[in-house]
């Protein structure tokens, strides 16, 4: 693949770092601003649901927090990279490097913030009495699957977005719906059998569940499910990459 | 030996503004059967070739397709019909400051811009002092680009671009900014490139510069090739003072 080439790896790193610096203003303060949104969401949902959901879910605040952090990466990374080709139109029009680098570096920009969030989350978990277990070491693996999933969605969507600008709005709706269709602030067991199927088809359900079992409940995650998600993401990535390659010829004149 | 061969190249664009379609528009036009976009030809049936080691000029009024031609040769745009054959690596310098981040310092931008041109970090680090020297920006290299003048901007990017080793170099109107001494420096570099067997394609509105440096030139007008050949004759044709037998220059 193209990322094997050293110069493109350099470019991806350069673009990610410079975009990260600009996005968070490169300061600790800027980073805390991006934390504010998930934090506020956590405080409100925790306030509303701890009495109710707390009955079904052990360690509800931690349960909620892991859910929000993991969902937040999915939502913000896809939304941010979706418009990356439009945002960096100038690059598309004046350079010939592979365009997928623009999309991937946008995802990685958000991913960097996500890594910091995960660090803070882990620290918070340990401070609030969770014990450090070897299962913590599986979290990077889960996060990697999540990253591949996000890239596989972002590539074809960002290409389509060049042609159809309203994809951005539509994806916004899907992400909003996804927030409610993922067990973030409620538990799967609280949903009736038939409707649960809808949630189980959502890959983020399994990624969040796996993260929780490693970080909070000290249970081994369901590896076969993660494997299926990984394979599916790789398949979508492959198809998405083909679509992207096919569409990219016209990017420079449409943008 | 020809390093660039352009054969019957045509490029059609959809009319501006109509490109920004939406799914809603797409669906509604499928029902009404109305096509939204018009089209115009930015280039029509262009055929020419450039030899190795040449400095080749492209002239013509605004909107004649000069930049589109360069971009098609560079591989940013794809031909609607016709063929562009390029043998060797291409480095191009299309629009000033494209790819720079104004909020970052000159130093950071040297690395970023270099990476965009396909230079790896090691190469840039090795040549960093030379780049800054060439751009003459020692005192401003740690200043954010927001505070740069457009001349400084172009000096910095040009200095980086010249580090990218390529067989063919495409330059679009680089002399529009930058003072005389920098312009001279640029041309010294360009001549040095030519002496090392590199090929340079050069778009400019300055007929004096084209006459001085380019052996052969191409004259475009509204996407059509008016003339191609010896610069002196092409430039004279462009100036509207045709020589005696200019029919087949």
Res A26: pLDDT: 60
| pLDDT reported for residue B20 | 57
B19-75 pLDDT per residue, tens: 556 777 777 766 666 555 577 889 999 999 999 999 999 999 988 999 899 999 998
Task: Say if residue A135's pLDDT is above 50.
Answer: yes
Q: Assess if residue B249 is contained within a domain.
A: no
Tell me which chain B residue has its CA closest to the CA of residue A101. B116
Nearest residue, CB atoms, B76 vs list A13, A22, A96: A96
One-character DSSP codes across A73-135: HHHHHHHHHHTHHHHTHHHHHH--S-THHHHHHHHHHHHHHHHHHHHHHHHHHHHTTPPP-GG
Residue B25 tokens read as: 């528009």
B73 lies in some domain: yes
The answer, yes or no, to whether residue A108 has pLDDT greater than 80, is yes
User: Which one has a higher pLDDT value, B212 or A28?
Assistant: B212
Report residue B199: phi and psi, to 5°. Answer: -110, 140
The answer on pLDDT for A82 being more than 80 is: yes
CA nearest to A12 within chain B:
B115
Closest residue in B to A16 (Cα) is B112
Confidence of residue B248 (pLDDT cuts 50, 70, 90): very low
Dihedral sign for Cα B103, B109, B112, B116, please: positive
Q: Model confidence over B193-221: pLDDT tens digits?
A: 889 989 999 898 888 888 988 999 999 99
* Contact state of B78 with A10 under an 8 Å Cβ cutoff: no
Residue B248 lies inside a defined structural domain of this protein: no
- According to the model, what pLDDT value does residue B37 have? 58
Q: Which residue of A has its CA nearest to B161?
A: A95
CA distance B244 to chain A (A): 41
* Chain B residues within 8 A of A11 when measuring between CB atoms: 115-116, 118
| pLDDT, averaged across chain A | 89
- What is the arithmetic mean of pLDDT over B7-26? 73
For chain A, the residues whose C-beta falls within 8 A of a C-beta of chain B are 6-7, 10-11, 13-15, 18, 21-22, 90-97, 163-167, 170, 249-250, 252-254
Q: Which residue of B has its CA nearest to A253?
A: B77
Query: Whole-angstrom distance between the N-terminal and C-terminal Cα of chain A?
Result: 26
pLDDT given for residue B15 in this prediction: 62
Cβ contact B22–A96 (<8 Å): no
Confidence at residue B150, expressed as pLDDT on a 0 to 100 scale: 80
Q: Please tell me which of the candidates B26, B75, B120 has its beta carbon nearest to residue A7.
A: B120
Q: Choose the weakest-confidence range: A158-167, B33-42, B133-142, B161-170.
A: B33-42
Is the pLDDT score of A132 beyond 90? no
Identify which of A7, A13, A93 has the shortest CB distance to residue B118: A7
What DSSP string describes B38-98? Answer: -EEEEEEEEEEEEETT-EEEEE-STTSSHHHHHHHHHTSS--SEEEEEE-S-EEEE-STTT
Reported as a pLDDT band with limits 50, 70 and 90, residue A21 is confident
Q: Which of B76, B80, B110 to mutate to test the interface with A (most CBs of A within 10 A)?
A: B76
- Average pLDDT (A110-127) is 91
Q: Does residue B26 fall inside a structural domain? A: no
A6 with B116: Cβ contact below 8 A: no
Residue B226's pLDDT is 92
pLDDT, position A25: 61
Predicted confidence (pLDDT) at residue A77 exceeds the cutoff of 90: yes
Tell me if B60 sits within 8 A of B70, measured CB to CB: no
Q: How many domains would you assign to chain B?
A: 1
Two tokens, residue A196:
């649960």
Residue B59 lies in a domain: yes
- Domain range for B218: 54-79+90-239
The predicted structure's pLDDT at residue B249:
43
- The rounded percent of chain A whose pLDDT value lies above 70 is 96
CB B231 within 8 A of CB B248: no
**Beta partners for residue B35, in sequence order:** none
Over residues A159-209, the pLDDT tens digits come to: 999 988 889 999 999 999 999 999 999 998 888 988 899 899 999 999 999
Residue B204 CA to residue B6 CA, distance in Å, equals 20
A92 neighbourhood in chain B, CB within 8 Å: 76
pLDDT at A33: 81
Worst-scoring range by mean pLDDT, A27-36, A108-117, B235-244? B235-244
Residue B43 included in any domain: no
Indicate yes or no: CB of A164 within 8 angstroms of CB of B118.
no
pLDDT band at B245 (very low <50, low <70, confident <90, very high): very low
Structure tokens at A163: 């042609």
Q: State whether B14 and A253 contact (CB < 8 Å).
A: yes
Question: pLDDT band for position B243 (50/70/90)?
Answer: very low
With a cut of 50, say whether residue A3 has pLDDT above it: no
Instruction: Summarize pLDDT for B172-197 with one digit per residue, the tens.
Output: 877 666 678 888 888 888 888 889 98
Q: Which chain B positions have a beta carbon within 8 Å of A102's beta carbon?
A: none
Option in B14, B99, B120 nearest A90 (CB): B99
Domain containing residue B141: CATH number? 3.40.50.300
Q: Which of B29, B120, B146, B158 should one mutate to test binding to chain A, selecting the residue with the greatest count of A CBs within 10 A?
A: B120
| Stretch A31-50: mean pLDDT | 89
Task: Work out the pLDDT band at A53, boundaries 50, 70, 90.
Answer: confident
Domain assignment present for B17: no
- The answer to whether residue B232 scores a pLDDT higher than 70 is yes
Q: Is residue B48 part of a domain?
A: no
Smallest CA–CA distance from B67 into chain A, residue = A94
């Amino acid at each position: 693949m193209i990322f094997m080439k050293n110069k493109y790896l350099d470019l991806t790193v350069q673009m990610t770092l410079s975009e990260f610096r600009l996005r968070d203003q490169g300061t600790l303060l800027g980073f805390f601003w991006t934390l504010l949104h998930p934090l506020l969401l956590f405080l409100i949902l925790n306030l509303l649901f701890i009495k109710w959901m707390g009955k079904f879910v052990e360690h509800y605040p931690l349960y909620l927090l892991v859910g929000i952090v993991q969902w937040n990466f999915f939502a913000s990374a896809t939304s941010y990279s979706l418009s990356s080709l439009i945002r960096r139109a100038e690059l598309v029009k004046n350079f010939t490097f592979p365009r997928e680098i623009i999309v991937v570096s946008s995802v990685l920009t958000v991913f960097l913030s996500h890594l910091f969030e995960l660090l803070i989350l882990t620290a918070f978990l340990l401070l609030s009495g969770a014990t450090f277990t070897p299962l913590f070491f599986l979290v990077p693996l889960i996060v990697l699957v999540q990253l591949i999933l996000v890239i596989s969605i972002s590539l074809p969507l960002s290409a389509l977005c060049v042609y159809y600008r309203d994809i951005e709005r539509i994806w916004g709706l899907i992400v909003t719906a996804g927030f409610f269709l993922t067990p973030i602030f409620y538990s799967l067991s609280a949903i009736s059998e038939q409707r649960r199927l809808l949630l189980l088809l959502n890959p983020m359900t399994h990624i969040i569940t796996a993260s929780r079992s490693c970080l909070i409940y000290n249970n081994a995650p369901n590896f076969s499910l993660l494997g299926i998600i990984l394979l599916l993401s790789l398949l979508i990535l492959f198809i998405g990459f083909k679509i992207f390659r096919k569409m990219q010829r016209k990017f420079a004149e449409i943008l | 030996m020809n390093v660039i061969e352009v054969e019957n190249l045509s490029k059609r664009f959809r009319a501006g503004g109509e490109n920004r379609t939406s799914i809603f528009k797409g669906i509604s036009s499928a029902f009404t059967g109305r096509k939204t976009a018009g089209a115009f030809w930015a280039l029509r049936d262009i055929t020419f070739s450039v030899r190795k080691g040449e400095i080749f000029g492209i002239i013509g009024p605004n909107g004649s397709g000069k930049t589109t031609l360069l971009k098609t040769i560079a591989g940013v745009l794809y031909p609607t019909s016709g063929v562009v054959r390029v043998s060797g690596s291409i480095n191009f310098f299309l629009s000033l400051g494209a790819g720079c981040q104004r909020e970052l310092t000159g130093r950071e931008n040297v690395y970023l811009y270099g990476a965009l041109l396909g230079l790896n970090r090691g190469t840039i680090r090795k040549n960093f002092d030379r780049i800054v020297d060439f751009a003459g920006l020692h005192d401003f290299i740690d200043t954010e680009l927001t505070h740069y003048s457009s001349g400084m901007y172009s000096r910095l990017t040009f200095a980086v671009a010249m580090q990218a080793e390529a067989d063919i170099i495409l330059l679009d109107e680089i002399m529009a900014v930058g003072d005389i001494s920098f312009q001279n420096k640029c041309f010294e570099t360009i001549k040095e490139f030519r002496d090392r067997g590199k090929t340079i394609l050069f778009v400019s509105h300055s007929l004096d510069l084209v006459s001085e440096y380019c052996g052969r030139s191409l004259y475009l007008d509204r996407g059509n090739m008016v003339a191609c050949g010896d610069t002196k004759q092409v430039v004279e044709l462009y100036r509207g003072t045709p020589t005696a037998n200019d029919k087949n220059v």
